Structure 1
């Protein structure tokens, strides 16, 4: 293969060929950024005709599509890998063996960024907390950039030359190739098994997540989850969050004698839970995390509390859809792992339990090597019907049965959401049904049947809307 050389005059950086592996949104942002910086850039992708190829800068003329080009990678001075591509991919592994540096777009961003970074990861709630912190900053008058694993690729944020604060959602895939992020404040919100098909085991997953703490100036930890605590640098400023009453300077929950729950900072009651538009105990933890991150980033408390009371949550994240035939429907399609689904079951289940209500839970899709038996205690407590859909539906049922799911919980194999809705109408028609809410929280990836979790959630919402039509017409 023939490539351009330094004599072409492109390499004022003097760093040799930069090879971008994977041409999704982040890969395209990397290619544009490096080309603009004056590097010589090549791109390779396993797809024969990547959808974004026609958006590459004209000066990038080395493009190898149809397979990740091992020969091209061996010529690289540096490889910038997209998060969707495993480091164990044969061509990438061979390049690493040859001591060719492999980094992500996040590494390029943190090397170039001159403003404080709020860095957020975790198995669940990353997008909710990232969005909420970004909104808190904007409402406080801060010129903030929000991106990373959510919405805008991190490098694109650098186009805003007036940016004062960067708030980044970071996945384990992005973090596994980042060194010394140097965030103003960093957090691992929570840890539960996810992406074990990629990281191999929980240790590999944990190690990838905890790279977020490298070089951090302060940290936020979850008192309920020991795996969120950094293993080193105990002298760093830190704030903790949790479901119990907090110590001085920390965040938590206080319950008054009448049973009203308050967000609290030390002994100070900040806001009653019923003032929040987002519901469930997991969202009270999310609110605390956002307040703690904002405090360490220098945001004013009064302004953050105002933002909290206006925040409606994210689409596909325990999102209320509608009520049909006196049953509430919630779209948690973004719940793609068991930890997220546990939080959704517990958070919503606790809302309906005082009314003697139960949840109907829709599970299934691509299981990613998870052990679904861990859901059983939550299902036994809050759920009366489980409907299985998707590729791993049979395996998920087997896991639940092996974990001693209660005889009081009815299990239904439905394959598709359409079939699930037919079953919903059958089981809820009975006068004995305890179901007061239907929760789509699949604990699985969606790619067996959908283009992504949003597509799955939109389909769920459409089916709910069809249920609602007759009552609306009356």
Structure 2
């Protein structure tokens, strides 16, 4: 835990009692703060009360006595409308901040030079965060990984000069961290996302850009216009990352054909055979990780060893089994077309399991990749709409359930004459029509594959 000593003796309001909210309450109390915590969910407040948290309805509180409102990242700050606690905080003239802001203030107070790596981007940030942490840990460094990837930042060990915090940050978390100042800020990419929470794409990009704007050093993927503009606006040290053959004069790291290259064109690492880092998007992740760990003093030999031993993340192009020539891949995290695109570009002769609760636009943007698909197996609520998109382009079977789809795809892939047919669960949909979460969907797929005859 990182006790929040910077609020010792002060009274704060906290709203949102999920996992990070409870961790924040404990860290504030450990640091000597007086915390009144609340949540709109009776289930959440009851769970917090059972854990010894002082629960108090903030509707009835005297807000003039609070020093700050600590807000959970899932609670609306601006769009579609500010949460009622945000309105009360503004009326009282107190700041609205999140748990990573508390960490940033604690770092400045305790160990201002402590390494703090913050990673954001629309896609790839979890894999990149885990990859950086893995390389550092493999090289024997003291690494603390958390934030949006799982462990709440205040549940991690406190900042220290020889301890590296590797923190994934969503746009929601950046928005609640006004003094964000990582020693190394990473921006992977920007595509439209969460516009219901940020209003416009320009606002969303501006929030993402704040992570690298306040960083001592930055690493920025420059393959989209918005990220490239953010890199151009920086005045501090910045390493650019490009996927493809760079133009003359490019002075960053590049990745193409499964190899990461130095600024002078020298190969750094060949990723061939690293199943957890397939596809151009993962080549970018590897190049970003290389630039990051090099900046932290990791040798190229340690970098290569860490990249080659990276196991990947569950539900993100996770290789769950091989049966003969057939590879089974769990990409349940792909809840929209943009995410599924990454998987489709990484394989050929794909037996594609897709469907669920569709996002806007469905799978229409994936049409240029349909030639990689041998057969599609449709499940869930989106089946009819996806069938209409696939009609005349890709043979498909309406399967209804994941169990039926997995069995049919496995049978067809086994009969394929391809060198490595792939059964790919990459739904391009939310999971909530048939599953509790994308994790539940991926776990069920993994179990179905393991149970195949």
TM-score range, shorter chain: 0.7 to 0.9
Please say if 1:420 is aligned against 2:405: yes
Q: Does 1:78 align with 2:72?
A: no
Q: Partners of 2:178 and 2:187 in 1: how far apart?
A: 16
Taking the aligned partners of 1:77 and 1:432, their CA distance within structure 2 comes to: 67
Candidates 31, 38, 42, aligned match of 1:44: 38
The match for 1:376 is: 367
Q: Are residue 95 (structure 1) and residue 92 (structure 2) matched?
A: no
Matches within 5 A, 1:368-407: 368-369=359-360, 372-378=363-369, 380-395=370-385, 401=389, 407=392
How far apart are the structure 2 equivalents of 1:156 and 1:463?
35
Is the contact between residue 70 and residue 99 of structure 2 (CA under 8 Å) also seen in structure 1? Answer: yes
8 Å contact from structure 2 (residues 220, 238) kept in 1:
yes
Instruction: Specify whether residues 421 and 206 from structure 1 end up closer, same or farther in structure 2 by C-alpha distance, changes over 3 A only.
Output: same
Q: CA deviation at 1:290?
A: 0.4
1:441 has 2:426 as partner: yes
Preserved contact between residue 73 and residue 92 of structure 1 (Cα < 8 Å): no
Paired residues in the alignment total 433
* Contact preservation (8 Å) 2:337, 2:366: yes
Q: Which residue of 2 aligns with 1:156?
A: 155
- Residues in 2 aligned to 1:159 and 1:40: alpha-carbon distance in whole angstroms: 20
Report if aligned partners of 1:149, 1:169 keep a CA contact under 8 Å in 2: yes
Alignment of 1:253 onto 2:255: yes
Q: What does 1:17-416 correspond to in 2, within 5 Å? A: 18-50=12-44, 52-53=47-48, 56=51, 58=52, 60-64=53-57, 69-72=58-61, 74=63, 76-87=66-77, 88=81, 90-95=83-88, 97-98=90-91, 99-113=93-107, 114=111, 115-159=114-158, 164-229=163-228, 230=230, 233-246=233-246, 249-253=251-255, 261-265=258-262, 266-274=264-272, 276-278=274-276, 279-324=278-323, 326-348=325-347, 352=348, 358-369=349-360, 372-378=363-369, 380-395=370-385, 401=389, 407-416=392-401
Cα distance in 2, alignment partners of residues 70 and 394 from structure 1: 46
Mark the runs of 5 or more structure 1 residues left unpaired by the alignment. 1-9, 256-260, 353-357
Q: How far 1:121 moved relative to its partner?
A: 1.1
User: Residues 197 and 369 of structure 1 are in contact (CA less than 8 Å); yes or no, is this contact kept in structure 2?
Assistant: no
Q: How far off its partner does 1:203 sit? A: 3.1
- What per-residue deviation string (whole Å, max 9, x for no partner) do you get for residues 118-164 of structure 1? 11111222121111111222233322211111132111224475752
- 3-state SS in 2 of match to 1:138: helix
1:314-355 superposed Cα distances (whole Å, 9 cap, x missing partner) = 12111111234643210011223332211111122xxx3xxx
3-state SS in 1 of match to 2:435: coil
Paired position in structure 2 for 1:5: none
Q: Aligned equivalents of 2:8 and 2:272: distance in 1?
A: 55
1:448 positional shift: 3.5
2:437 is aligned to: 452
| Higher alpha-carbon deviation: 22-31 or 204-213 | 204-213
Distance in 1 between residues matched to 2:62 and 2:300, nearest whole Å: 49
CA RMSD of aligned residues (A): 3.1
Residues 210 and 443 of structure 1, relative CA distance in 2, 3 Å threshold? farther
Q: Secondary structure at the match of 1:321?
A: strand
Distance verdict in 2 for CA 1:142–1:135, change over 3 Å: same
SS in 2 for 1:242: strand
Distance 1:245 1:55 in 2: 57
Distance 1:389 1:92 in 2: 40
- Is the alpha carbon distance of 1:427 and 1:223 closer, same or farther for their aligned partners in structure 2, counting shifts above 3 Å? same
Deviation at 1:432, TM superposition (A): 9.1
Residues 120-129 or 153-162, more deviating = 153-162
Distance in structure 2 (CA, Å) of the matches to 1:73 and 1:269: 62
Change (3 A) 1:201 1:396: farther
Say if 1:343 and 1:62 are closer, same or farther in 2 by CA, change over 3 A. same
The TM-score, its normalising length taken from structure 1, stands at 0.81
- Tell me, in whole angstroms, the C-alpha distance in 1 between the residues paired with 2:321 and 2:267: 32
How much has 1:461 moved relative to structure 2? 0.7
Deviations for 1:292-318, whole angstroms, at most 9, x for unmatched residues?
122233333221122112112112111
> Within 2, Cα distance between the matches of 1:212 and 1:457?
31
Q: Does structure 2 conserve the Cα–Cα contact (< 8 Å) formed by 1:393 and 1:413?
A: yes
Are the equivalent residues in 2 in contact too, given 1:180–1:214 (CA < 8 A)? no
